[in-house]
Chain A
Amino acid sequence: MYSEKVMDHFSNPRNMGEIENPSGVGTVGNAKCGDIMRMYLDIDENHIIRDCKFKTFGCGAAVATSSMATELVKGKTIEEALQVTNKAVMEALDGLPPVKVHCSLLAEEAIHAALWDYAEKNGIVIEGLEKPKSDIHEGEEEEEY
């Protein structure tokens, strides 16, 4: 059901791990729905993402989208990183099964959450960055009850 690229990124995830004293860190998702992603960013004084690492609790697609997202933002400026959408992550992975599209959304949100944390820590405003929801399933959950 997964593309070769998804399987590759799942079996050999790139940039998996933690960054000590990161410039920004963001965690999104929720254990109830079975996906949690955490992104660590190391950003230099020129606003370039020197390093990016992730940790993910989730399915194969969740791991693969996290891995691909780190690849796509590494070496980029903050502005460029903001342009990395879930669509871009999906395309880079040669697509995802429809039920797994939310995993790519989570990857986008995780980057945004880490950037938000960086902006807050440094008292700066990143144009075009909105405060990410800590939990992208929040809306869905409320509907349940």
Chain B
Amino acid sequence: MDKIIYLDHAATTKCAPEAVQAMLPYFTEYYGNASTIYQLGAQSKKAIQNTRSKIAESLHADSSEIYFTAGGSESDNWALVATAEAYASKGKHIITSKIEHHAILHTCEYLEKRGFQITYVDVDANGIVKLDELEKAIRPDTILISIMFANNEIGTIQPIEEIGRIAKEKGILFHTDAVQAYGHVPIDVEALHIDMLSASGHKLNGPKGIGFLYIRKGVKIRSFVHGGAQERGRRAGTENVPGIVGLGVAIEKAFSGMEERIQKETKMRDYLIERIEKEIPYCRLNGDRVKRLPGNVNFSFEFIEGESLLIMLDMKKICASSGSACTSGSLDPSHVLLAIGLPHEIAHGSLRLTLDHENTIEEMDYVVDAVREIVEKLRAMSPLYEDFIKKN
């Protein structure tokens, strides 16, 4: 293959050309500040409102409940820190899970240092949050439950509706980090009883540096960025109008053909999983087979290490990712893979392939052949494999 095979869509996606085209005039022609009184500024304001309405519609929310941010991490930080502060008089206990993104986990650690207590609920072997544990963790002083919609590494889709119902019954706020899910699977904040939801533009073929936080009307949440009246006084800073316009186009595209895309991606995903399981021995699919994002594949290959695998895939122009320690910059492999019970050495040998609708079955074939060949090569080099073969 001459061209790059991009299978790291959970990391980021290509910005849709239509989104880029729509953004361009907002750099050089319609550059007015949306807070101004003249026509040029009003044009920007209109563009912002347009995307806001599209987001609201896509979530079954009201456009006054959508707040633009610089991306998923900011939305997560804001949702947690600002609610914690606003509701501290009611209680200082927050429930989350062990497999959240670091934007949540590190923010929780920050809050712990400031007197909040956090319960990190376990997941089962497939990476699904244990609802009974979550319910047991609820205390009179619990103010917030934050559980991701779908996991970024192993793709598991969480029982959001049940969690939303539990939170609602107990009168606890419910936030979900939907960065991996928004624009990929349908989300209805009303039906699912979601009070806050984080999303990011660049995960759905929108531009980087733009995201939003949905905040249900009535939720007390203070400003996170101070200094202006933008976003109804809750998020200061001149709006990233080109980003917002690009996000709007990306959302329109994502939601208009969602059903067909889900079908196409799921088919490719399951084909990839089937071939890998059939052709590469000593592998393990991580995550749930069914409750899974349409584009996510995550395998562990025994006796090999993930970074080596990634470098060799890169030599074959395949972009992928791993949960090995060497790719995380620490000695520990991914916290998600450890949370689903993988031993360290197996977690080190993980490979995440995240596809989208523009990938093809031919590419999947090329990738399986490449992975099989590389895994064989690395196993031939592995003292762990040598020991295993000699023992058996």
Q: Which residues of A contact B (CB under 8 A)?
A: 7, 10-11, 13, 16, 18, 27, 31-38, 55-63, 99-100, 137, 140
Q: Does B150 contact A (CB under 8 A)?
A: no
B386 CB to nearest A CB, Å = 6
Q: Quick one: given A57-B304, A58-B305, are A63 and B381 in contact (CB under 8 Å)?
A: yes
Stretch at the interface among B238-246, B252-260, B270-278, B326-334: B326-334
**Complex contact B326–A34 (CB within 8 A):** yes
Q: Assuming A31-B345, A34-B345, A60-B311, what are 4 further A-B pairs, CB within 8 angstroms?
A: A16-B381, A34-B344, A36-B382, A58-B305
Main secondary structure of the interface of A (DSSP, over half): mixed
Cβ contacts under 8 Å, A36 to chain B: 382-384
CB neighbours (8 Å) of A13 from chain B are: 381
Indicate if B324 sits at the interface (CB-CB under 8 A). yes
- Cβ contact within 8 Å between A33 and B384: no
Contacts A11-B315, A33-B331, A137-B331 given; indicate if A59 touches B383 (C-beta within 8 A): no
- Partner pick for A55 among B315, B324, B329, B381, CB 8 A cutoff: B381
Q: How many A-B residue pairs have CB under 8 A?
A: 73
Question: Does B303 reach chain A (CB closer than 8 Å)?
Answer: yes
Contacts of B382 in A (CB 8 A): 36, 55-57
**How many angstroms from the CA of A11 to the CA of B329 in the assembled complex?**
22
- Residue among A10, A33, A34 with max Cβ neighbours from chain B (10 Å): A34
Known: A32-B344, A34-B325, A57-B303. A63 touches B308 (CB 8 A): yes
Task: List chain B residues, Cβ under 8 A from A100.
Answer: 326
Q: How many residues of B contact A (CB 8 A)?
A: 24
Q: Is B74 an interface residue (CB 8 A)?
A: no
Pairs A–B under 8 Å by Cβ, sample size 10: A10-B308, A33-B331, A36-B383, A55-B383, A56-B381, A59-B308, A61-B326, A63-B381, A99-B329, A137-B331
| Distance in Å: Cβ of B342 to nearest Cβ of chain A | 12
Q: A10-B308, A34-B305, A137-B331 are in contact. Are A56 and B383 (CB under 8 A)?
A: yes
In the assembled complex, the Cα of A99 lies from the Cα of B384 at a distance in Å of 23
Residue of B nearest to A18 (CB): B386
Q: Which of A27, A33, A61, A140 contacts B383 (CB 8 A)?
A: A27
In the complex, whether B307 has a CB less than 8 A from a CB of chain A is: yes
Count chain B CB atoms within 10 A of each CB in A16, A60, A61 and give the residue with the most: A60
- Rounded to whole Å, the gap between the CB of A36 and the closest CB of chain B is 5
- State the 6 A-B residue pairs at the shortest beta-carbon distance, nearest first: A31-B345, A59-B326, A59-B307, A38-B383, A32-B344, A34-B348
**Shortest distance from the beta carbon of A72 to any chain B beta carbon, whole Å:** 19
**Could you tell me the distance in whole angstroms from the C-beta of B36 to the nearest C-beta in chain A?**
46
Closest chain B residue to A2, Cβ basis: B311
Tell me the minimal C-beta distance from B85 to chain A in angstroms. 33
Residue of B whose beta carbon sits closest to that of A33: B331
> Which chain A residues border B331 with CB–CB below 8 Å?
33-34, 137, 140
Contact A57 B305 (CB under 8 A): yes
Partner of A10, one of B311, B380, B385, B386: B311
Residues of A within 8 A of B315 (CB): 11
B311 close to A57 (CB less than 8 A): no
Contacts of B324 in A (CB 8 A): 34, 59
Q: Which residues of B278-313 have CB atoms within 8 Å of chain A's CB atoms?
A: 303-305, 307-308, 311-312
On chain B, the residues within 8 Å of A61 by CB distance are 326
A13 to B381, CA, bound (A): 9
Q: Which residue of A lies closest to B380 (CB)?
A: A16
Residues in B352-392 with C-beta less than 8 Å from chain A: 380-386
A58 to B385 CA separation, bound complex (whole angstroms):
12
A54 to B331: give the CA distance in the assembly, Å: 23
- Tell me the smallest distance from the CB of A29 to a CB of chain B, in Å: 9
Q: Across the interface, name the chain B residue whose C-beta is closest to A7.
A: B311
Q: Give bound CA distance, A63 to B307, whole Å.
A: 11
Question: Closest B-chain residue to A66, C-beta based?
Answer: B381
CB neighbours of A35 from chain B (8 A): 305
A67 nearest CB across to chain B (Å)? 10
Q: Tell me which residues across on chain A come within 8 A of B333, comparing CB atoms.
A: 34
B307 and A60: CB pair below 8 A? yes
Which residues of B lie under 8 Å from residue A137 when comparing CB positions?
331
Most buried by A among B305, B380, B385: B305
Complex CA–CA separation, A16 to B384 (angstroms): 14
Residues of B within 8 A of A10 (CB): 308, 311
Also in contact, A57 and B326, with CB within 8 A (given A33-B344, A34-B333): no
Distance, CA A27 to CA B315, complexed state (A): 29
